[in-house]
A and B are shown apart, each in its own frame.
Chain A
Amino acid sequence: AQSVTQLGSHVSVSEGALVLLRCNYSSSVPPYLFWYVQYPNQGLQLLLKYTTGATLVKGINGFEAEFKKSETSFHLTKPSAHMSDAAEYFCAVSKEYGNKLVFGAGTILRVKS
């Protein structure tokens, strides 16, 4: 069975500081990996995804993530936090032949001015 672990239910950074949100997964097959963002009272929005190919994936709003198979990780980073980045972030994994997404518990990002 697949599973996702997000380390840190809450992360607080200062505006302009590096954002690092951690995600580790377990999967018996090569995974497809996703990061979604959820703003208050809004639906989930895809930030970026890894399917095959380049392991460093760039997404919207300046975010990127690197797939590290040896570490079973897919951490999300952004060089400089903006106040508008404050939201909840979810890491998710999926199989090729399956379609359901398995989500982590989420990390709430707070950006301090």
Chain B
Amino acid sequence: GAGVSQTPSNKVTEKGKYVELRCDPISGHTALYWYRQSLGQGPEFLIYFQGTGAADDSGLPNDRFFAVRPEGSVSTLKIQRTERGDSAVYLCASSQGQGGRNEQFFGPGTRLTVL
């Protein structure tokens, strides 16, 4: 079956611009996660959705970052007024349910470059 997909695979933008990154989770997965992976580091948690609601957004670095999942499936990560420090690979993952033991399946990521 289809895995987690993310679009675009690469995004180059200029400082100050607005970007949207899309994640299509595995069908039927109720939980969706966003992580950010900077060069040479492990992924860092940003936000977690259970269904349509954000259950934990403690990892969002500031109010320029926002994510939605209006119908409980596809999610969009939105970044306003991008800065060069936002350059990273943004990873999306989904799992069947909540709880730390559920395996998270990762997408290939979106590489964001802010010039």
Does chain A have a CB within 8 A of B42? yes
Task: Determine if B56 and A90 form an interchain contact, defined as CB atoms under 8 angstroms apart.
Answer: no
Interface range, B side: 20 to 34
Shortest CB-to-CB span from B47 to chain A, Å, is 9
Closest to A91 in B: B42
Does chain A have a CB within 8 A of B1? no
Task: Determine if B108 and A42 form an interchain contact, defined as CB atoms under 8 angstroms apart.
Answer: yes
The answer for the CA separation of A44 and B94 in the assembled complex, in Å, is: 12
The answer for the CA separation of A49 and B103 in the assembled complex, in Å, is: 8
Give the residues in chain A near B3, CB-CB below 8 Å: 43
Find residues 40-94 in chain B having any chain A CB closer than 8 Å to their own CB.
40-45, 48, 50, 55-56, 59, 91, 93
Task: Determine if B91 and A101 form an interchain contact, defined as CB atoms under 8 angstroms apart.
Answer: no
Q: Which residue, of A4, A36, A96, A99, has the highest number of chain B Cβ atoms within 10 A?
A: A99
CB-contact partner of A99 in B4, B91, B98, under 8 A? B98
Closest to B4 in A: A43
Interface range, A side: 20 to 34
Chain A interface, DSSP helix/strand/loop, else mixed: loop
Task: Determine if A100 and B101 form an interchain contact, defined as CB atoms under 8 angstroms apart.
Answer: no
CB-contact partner of A96 in B43, B95, B101, B109, under 8 A? B101
Does chain A have a CB within 8 A of B104? yes
Task: Determine if B33 and A100 form an interchain contact, defined as CB atoms under 8 angstroms apart.
Answer: yes
Known contacts A44-B106, A95-B100; can you find 8 more A-B pairs with CB under 8 A?
A: A9-B40, A43-B4, A43-B108, A51-B100, A97-B100, A99-B55, A99-B99, A101-B35
**A interface, CB within 8 angstroms of B:** 4, 9, 31-32, 36, 41-46, 49, 51-52, 90, 92, 94-106
Closest 9 CB pairs of A and B: A103-B42, A94-B100, A100-B45, A44-B106, A51-B101, A32-B100, A43-B106, A43-B108, A96-B100
**Between-chain CB contacts (< 8 Å), 7 pairs:** A42-B108, A43-B4, A98-B100, A99-B33, A99-B102, A100-B45, A100-B48
